[in-house]
Amino acid sequence: MTYGTEREMTDSVSGGDESVHDVHRYHEEPFWRKYIFATDHKMIGIQYALTALFFLLTGFTFMMLMRWQLAYPGQPIPLIGWLFSDDTMPGGVMVPEFYNQLGAMHGTIMVFLGVVPLAVGAFGNYIVPLQIGAPDMAFPKLNMASYWVYFCGGVVMLASFFVPAGAAKAGWTSYPPLANIETMGQTMWLIGMMFLITSSLLGAVNFLTTIIQLRAPGMSYFRMPFFVWAQFVTAFLLLLAFPPLEAAAFLQLADRLIGTSFFMPSGLVVSGQVLDIAGGGSPLLWQHLFWFLAHPEVYVLILPAMGIVAEIIANNTRKPLWGYKLMVYSLLFLGAMSFIVWAHHMFITGMGTTMGAFFQVTTMIISIPSVIILSGLFLSLWGASMRFTTPMLFALAFLPMFGIGGLTGLPLGLAPTDIPLHDTMYVIGHFHYIVAPGTILALFAGIYYWYPKVTGRKLNDFWGRIHFWGTFICMNGIFMPMFIQGLAGVSRRLYDGGATYDFAANVVQYNELMSIFAWVLALAQIPFFINFFLSIKKGKEVDDNPWKATTLEWTATPTPPLPHVNFETVPTVYRGPYEYSVPDSDSDFTPQNQP
Amino acid sequence: MDIPYTVEARPDTGVNNAKLGIWLFLASEIMLFGGLFSAYIFLRIGAPEWPGMMAGHMYGRASEVLSVPLATLNTFILIGSSVTIVMAWASLMMNRFDKYRLFMGATILLAFGFLIIKGIEYTSKFSHGLFPSESNFLGIYFVLTGLHAVHVIGGIIINSYFLGPGTKLWKTNPKYFTNRIEVAGLYWHFVDIVWIFLFPTIYLL
Ligand code: HEM
Ligand SMILES: [Cu+2]
């Protein structure tokens, strides 16, 4: 079937006709409707963005505290140590239980409350309807509900620090039996996760319906910007992968609250005593259910980032993306494959060779589409006269960082090499290269790129560059040594960073260096935050399409577009998303709505 | 600018927004129950006997613990309610609002009937000391049927809304209202189908 043929286009134009008269039906809304219980996708996107940035900062702060303990084990934290209670930091020295709480909540907050809400909730919400030429999301009230449910989940997670014995300590993976016999914080974690899962599900239904149903006339699937495709596949992953974790969370709650033994083997001994439970359950069941979600989840963390980078690269190379269709097919293939690789996280559980072989093969296969997408982005640079704008710097840096993260993942996908590397700092280094120098850089790129559409002003370039170089260098300073430590055999989740292990003697000294980089990384964020908030009022004013981009969001006027309206007239799309430097054209870009 | 395709179907996809939305939601629900069914299989494969030892007795078959007649009755009740909700929708299509109320009311009553019978089953288990913590068989039985019951309650709430305050929409936009009943019906069929899988898996196999 071919999309966007002449006939189809006229069809859908007349299909949308009824609404043409309604354009400009915009009324001023009361304060609480406009800013608090907002239903406009752009305001919800901003709510998500601010909340997610807050949580990213929170998760990062936890890590800065932990990095002190790793660099100087057992020494009191200077200046701020006294702020903490005696249960967590007597005399300013972090106790192991508190280290574990911070570690588990760092992971949980970064993944579920920071990166995904920023990548999907904020960017997806704000940009997707604009890029497909829609007035809003398909279900605005549901959209509002997703945000507030997410918000509640965040509150529950933060509140869990204040229950007896503090927050969850069993890691972001919450493996039983440990998680089952944990203190109350773990119950809070499970309840918080249920909120976050519900929020994601509502969001996913909304995104998919919006993309399938609300594309403007002429916006056929293969005229959608790559970013929209990335959000589309991401929404499918959220829709189908999260429910099994919700099921697992029910089962773990039942184990903890009503004494079932779904994850508890018979005869389990805790503190020298056999537990009085029915037994017969399996801790591996949790691992399967958890990773069935959590592998697709890593693609949820990375695909929107790839989408952002693709937009910015096409815009700043002034060329069409190389292999757009191939990249889209790769995306779809990758999305489908991501459901059958999960047990590569479980090679050390003693699975049989047949099962091991299956998951190794699927893991090697799934690396192919990722490589195709990354290669497509790299090849797009070929022969371009690039504009090194601030968003472009971040987008360019994403490419090698994601490359490092991806390549170091291959040894983890093969059982013989994974078995010694499993649960070492090498793994931490690997996935942080994907999510921190990878996704986080891409998210910054997106913020610099779309800020002018949201506020009508640009972020300052000078401070943007300082922010870029500081972040880029520090991130590598933190995560590169992790590979070395991991290869030397240092485990993750160690309270003292390996100081008491002989074999770590040659590599523990890196801990101090890594911690210093982490704190400098914090300093490098100061120009960003000042820039971010000052530029709302003081930034340089720009026109509606400051980057001279082709995609529809830049044709939406005024800037920012009106709530629930977005476009003055329903846009009609006549061409693909990246018609830059079209030969014989008078300008070097041709917007999608230009006949 | 109003959101397009809230009532009319989009020509190239053939559905309106709500209908697509409910299908997507049901896909996620399949994954939710699918996750629990997989857990059931996983636990059962790992168990030496099934249902096994409970409250001091050894059971070889699920039907010795659970009441198959009551569950069979419940199966018919739910299937009946699926029929009545289709009739409710069909009545709207034929512009017979009075009949719609009758059939929707019947659907809700049947759903309550299901819950009452489920309640009787639960209490008889509890009175024999058969609690979820007794064994994984009981545990998964209570979790699966409990989650299903929550879905039934959800359905009752939705359907009651469309029998009470929701009917205002019928007067202003009957097509929109009819669509909503169709969507509510799809959800209700799903709740029915889940039970049709649950019943043989837990009670008979
Ligand atoms: C950029 C600043 C960041 C720093 C300095 C940092 C540092 C660390 C370190 C050192 C650990 C290991 C702790 C231990 O083994 O005891 C860790 C764990 C983890 N981090 Fe990060 N991280 C950062 C950002 C992120 C981001 C952006 C994400 C996710 C999107 C993330 C997700 C995780 C997860 C899931 C864990 C595992 C937690 C666990 O063991 O349960 N981190 N991080
Ligand atoms: Cu994985």
**Which residues are CB-contacts of A212 (< 8 A; sequence separation ≥ 6)?**
B13, B20
The ipTM of this complex is 0.95
Report how far residue B25's alpha carbon sits from residue A238's, in angstroms, rounded to the nearest whole number. 11
Report how far residue A24's alpha carbon sits from residue A9's, in angstroms, rounded to the nearest whole number. 24
Report how far residue A331's alpha carbon sits from residue A341's, in angstroms, rounded to the nearest whole number. 16
Report how far residue A488's alpha carbon sits from residue A478's, in angstroms, rounded to the nearest whole number. 17
Flag whether pLDDT at A475 surpasses 60.
yes
Burial of A189 (0-12, 13-18, 19+ CB in 10 A): buried
The pLDDT value recorded for residue A25 is 53
Flag whether pLDDT at A309 surpasses 60.
yes
Instruction: Give the number of other CB atoms < 10 A from CB of residue A319.
Output: 20
B43 lies in a domain? yes
Secondary structure class of A424 (helix, strand, coil): strand
Q: Is A140 on the interface with B (CB under 8 A)?
A: yes
Query: In one letter, which amino acid is B97?
Result: F
Q: Give the CA distances from residue A107 to residues A50, A111, A290, A291, in Å, rounded to whole numbers and listed in that order.
A: 19, 6, 14, 15
Flag whether pLDDT at B161 surpasses 60.
yes
Q: Is B36 on the interface with A (CB under 8 A)?
A: yes
Mean pLDDT of B107-120: 98
Is residue B167 within 8 Å of B177, Cβ to Cβ?
A: yes
Give phi and psi for A163, each to the nearest 5: -85, 165
Q: What is the mean pLDDT of chain B?
A: 95
Cβ <8 Å between B143 and A292? no
Summarised one tens digit per residue, pLDDT across range B51-92 is: 988 888 899 999 999 999 999 999 999 999 999 999 999 999
> How distant is the Cα of B146 from the closest Cα of chain A, in angstroms?
11
Flag whether pLDDT at B122 surpasses 80.
yes
Q: Which residues on adjacent β-strands are paired with residue A491?
A: A424
B3 lies in a domain? no
Best to test chain A binding among B6, B24, B187 (most A CBs inside 10 Å):
B24
Which residues from chain A sit within 8 angstroms of residue B24, using beta carbons? 204-205, 208-209, 239
Structure tokens given for A38 = 């907002």
- Counted residue by residue, chain A has a size of 595
Flag whether pLDDT at A9 surpasses 80.
no
Q: Which of A242, A179, A254 is nearest to B35 (CA)?
A: A242
Render A262-318 in DSSP notation, one character per residue.
Answer: TT--TT-EETTEE--S-----HHHHHHHHHHHHHHHHHHHHHHHHHHHHHHHHHHHT
Best to test chain B binding among A3, A212, A215 (most B CBs inside 10 Å):
A212
The pLDDT value recorded for residue A525 is 97
Q: Was domain A3-14+43-262+279-555 assigned CATH 1.10.10.410?
A: no
Summarised one tens digit per residue, pLDDT across range A171-196 is: 999 999 999 999 999 999 999 999 99
Mean pLDDT of A388-410: 97
Lining ligand 1 with CB less than 6 A are A 60, 63, 103-104, 106-107, 110-111, 115, 171-173, 301, 428, 432, 435-436, 440, 478, 492-493, 518
Which residues from chain B sit within 8 angstroms of residue A138, using beta carbons? 3, 17, 21
B100 lies in a domain? yes
Flag whether pLDDT at A14 surpasses 60.
no
The pLDDT value recorded for residue A382 is 94
Flag whether pLDDT at A11 surpasses 70.
no
The pLDDT value recorded for residue B74 is 97
Summarised one tens digit per residue, pLDDT across range B3-24 is: 999 999 999 999 999 999 999 9
Going by pLDDT thresholds of 50, 70 and 90, the confidence category of residue A32 is: confident
- As a whole-number percent, the residues of chain A with pLDDT over 70 amount to 95
Flag whether pLDDT at B192 surpasses 60.
yes
Q: How many independent structural domains does chain B possess?
A: 1
Cis before A563? omega within 30: no
Strands A457-458 and A540-541: antiparallel
Which residues from chain B sit within 8 angstroms of residue A262, using beta carbons? 39, 43, 136, 139-140
Q: Whose CA is nearest to atom 1 of ligand 1?
A: A436
- Which helix or strand (DSSP H or E) is residue B54 part of? strand B52-54
Whole-number CA gyration radius for chain B: 20
Query: In one letter, which amino acid is B201?
Result: T
Q: What is the mean pLDDT of chain A?
A: 93
Going by pLDDT thresholds of 50, 70 and 90, the confidence category of residue A28 is: confident
B77 lies in a domain? yes
The pLDDT value recorded for residue A316 is 97
The pLDDT value recorded for residue A17 is 40
Which residue range forms the structural domain that includes residue B76?
17-48+72-204
Cβ <8 Å between A246 and B32? yes
Flag whether pLDDT at B2 surpasses 90.
no
Domain chopping of chain A, boundaries: 3-14+43-262+279-555
The pLDDT value recorded for residue A240 is 96
The pLDDT value recorded for residue A29 is 82
Query: In one letter, which amino acid is A322?
Result: W
Report how far residue A28's alpha carbon sits from residue A558's, in angstroms, rounded to the nearest whole number. 15
Flag whether pLDDT at A364 surpasses 90.
yes
The pLDDT value recorded for residue B1 is 64
Q: Which of A447, A477, A480 is nearest to A464 (CA)?
A: A447
B189 lies in a domain? yes
Q: Which of A243, A328, A232 is nearest to A293 (CA)?
A: A243
Q: Which of A246, A239, A244, A241 is nearest to A206 (CA)?
A: A239
Strands A273-274 and A457-458: unpaired
The pLDDT value recorded for residue A31 is 87
Going by pLDDT thresholds of 50, 70 and 90, the confidence category of residue A43 is: very high
Is residue A433 within 8 Å of A465, Cβ to Cβ?
A: no
pTM metric for this prediction: 0.94
Flag whether pLDDT at A18 surpasses 80.
no
Task: Report the CATH number at residue B169.
Answer: 1.20.120.80
Residue with tokens 């709480």: A101
Flag whether pLDDT at A534 surpasses 60.
yes
More reliable by pLDDT, A440 or B1: A440
Summarised one tens digit per residue, pLDDT across range A371-387 is: 999 999 999 999 998 99
Summarised one tens digit per residue, pLDDT across range A86-99 is: 999 999 999 999 99
Going by pLDDT thresholds of 50, 70 and 90, the confidence category of residue A26 is: low
The pLDDT value recorded for residue A13 is 39
